[in-house]
Structure formats: C-alpha cells, structure tokens
Structure 1
Amino acid sequence: MTTTDILNRFHVHMHVADLDANIAFYTQLFGVPPAVLKPDYAKWLLEDPRVNFAISTGKAGESGIAHLGLQAGDAQALSAVGARLQAADSIALAESGTTCCYARSDKFWAEDPQGVRWEAFHTHGEATSYYAPGAEVPTDTCCGPAAPEITDSAAKPRVRSGNACSPASGCC
C-alpha cells in the first residue's frame, strides 16, 4: 500500500465544560457512541464524514476548540505532512513515541497564521492513561508546546521523544 492509498482523517479536539452532556449530544449528532470513552475524554472515529472528533474536560473554565489536526494513516503519511509543515516553517514541536489522549503517537505541532493550533500525528498504540505514565499533571495541562513556543516561528522546533504531556517534559 502506498501513501496515497492510506486514508488520513481530519481531527478536531474540543474542551468541554460538561463531558456527559456533550457525549449525549455528539452521540445523537453522529448516530454512534464514542469509540473511546474515559472519565475525562471521549473520541469518535467517524467514517462519514471521515473525522477523529475528541472532547475532554481540559482546563477548568476553558471550553471550545483545543486544536485541529490531521491523523496520518501511517508513519510515511505523517512524514509527508511533516515535510509540508517544515516547508511552511511552521513546526513548533516534534514528538516521537509520546503518550497523550490515551494513545501512543508520533506528532508534529504547528500553528497557522491566525494562531489556530494544529496537530499532525500517527497513532501506533493505545495507552491506559491520558498522559505519560506517572506524570504529575497540573490543572492547566494542554498537549503540545506552550503558546509562546508556537508563535515564535523563527525559533528552532523542539524535538521530544516519549513522556509527552508531563511537567518534566515541558509539554504541560
């Protein structure tokens, strides 16, 4: 199978104030229950439209779109998206073998000219926790680089391997 044969998926992640009410709403809207359901997170992997739609409790008092993204069908497709982001001088953070959102993934984080955060990723396994195992997670967590890091396009992107979304890794 070539990269052009791999079906990639559009990704939307929203922070919500009331997880249960939003799970009920989106289950009705999409006509199917979440594919992944955790106490602080839910994800629908829809085929029509082909989208990875996730919601989480996020930071207290924060709701709305957390980030948009492209879920690559394989590592080669992720490399192609990463090359396009690099050509746009937009990569703020590259992650390898990271644990976030109950999954193990490789990722590129970027920001568009309006300040919208984008995550390009290839998931290669499930995880039993939202963040890296053993990570002490503060209440203002967010996967990806901190805002000042993203907005400085002249800065060299950070590269991190494993242990994402933990204070020690600088993700949160």
Structure 2
Amino acid sequence: MKKIQTPISDDVINDLKVGDKISLSGLMYCGRDAALPKLVKSIENEDIDRYPFDFKGMAIMHTAFSVAGIAPTTSNKAEIESSIPTLSKAGVKFHIGKGSLSCETKKSLKEYNSIFIVTPPLAALLTNNIISKKCVAYEKEGMEAFFELEVKDIPGIVAIAHGEFL
C-alpha cells in the first residue's frame, strides 16, 4: 500500500501504476453532478480566484456529502466525466470514483498527468476516515455542494494511469 499525502505532486503521479493500492490522507474534495460542471465553468471563465482552495495537487472524490457519509458515485455520468479533462488541466491529480471512463477521458488523464482511482463504495468505512469537513463552494446545492474534507487513509486502487487501465 502506497501512502499518499495531499497535495499530490507530479513525482507521486509518475511513481504510480495501474493496480497500485493507495491510502490517501490530507485534504480531499468531493463533488458530483451539481458542483463539478460549475467548477469547470469557473475555470473556463478564468474565475477561480474566488475559491478558498487551489486545484494544483488536488484529489476529488465523485460523491455528495450527507449525514450518511460519503461513497463514490459513477464517474462516467456525463456531468462528472466531462469535468475530468478541465479539472485535470487545472491541476487536479486524483479523480476518485467508480465505473469505467471513455477512451477520450483516459487520454486527457494521460495528457495532464492525472490518474483515476477507484475506491470501494462502502460509505461507513470511508466516513470513518473523515477528520473534518467544510463546504467551500455552492452551499445552496446542499449535499451536492463542493466540500473540503480532511481525511486519513482513504483506500483506493489506481485504475487509470499513464494511458494504461484495468
């Protein structure tokens, strides 16, 4: 198991390969259908200075945050998968979710030196690894707002890296 701390550097990405088991600690962000397209629009409009976070080295889990906790949603939903190239270009290094991604998205991950991590959809297990949480964007979206979580030892498996995939 490779222990990874955010923010994630290119050196860390370059050292990972498909099938590696990882344990992620530090700040992780979560967003899905409602928040991710809004982030992409802000990036495209060069309006990211208003956010209290930096995309560079970021890990984003494709999930909402509710009192039931977190568990990854399907990453190949149009609103989520279409956000991956732009977010990767902006500096996001880990996209954490479940499901398969298109060839085009796999190519964009390789182009921007980002990777796709799958993690088991076990809400209780993942929720136990959250140290703190706060809403950092799109509060009116409720549980689909964009949250910053401080996490310890979120498990995952590298599913797409450097043009290779499971």
> Shorter chain as normaliser: what TM range?
under 0.3
Q: Kindly indicate whether structure 1 or structure 2 has the higher relative contact order, using CA contacts under 8 Å at least 6 residues apart.
A: 2
More helix by share: 2
Task: Please say which structure displays the higher CA radius of gyration.
Answer: 1
Task: Report the TM-score, using the length of structure 1 for normalisation.
Answer: 0.25
More strand by share: 1
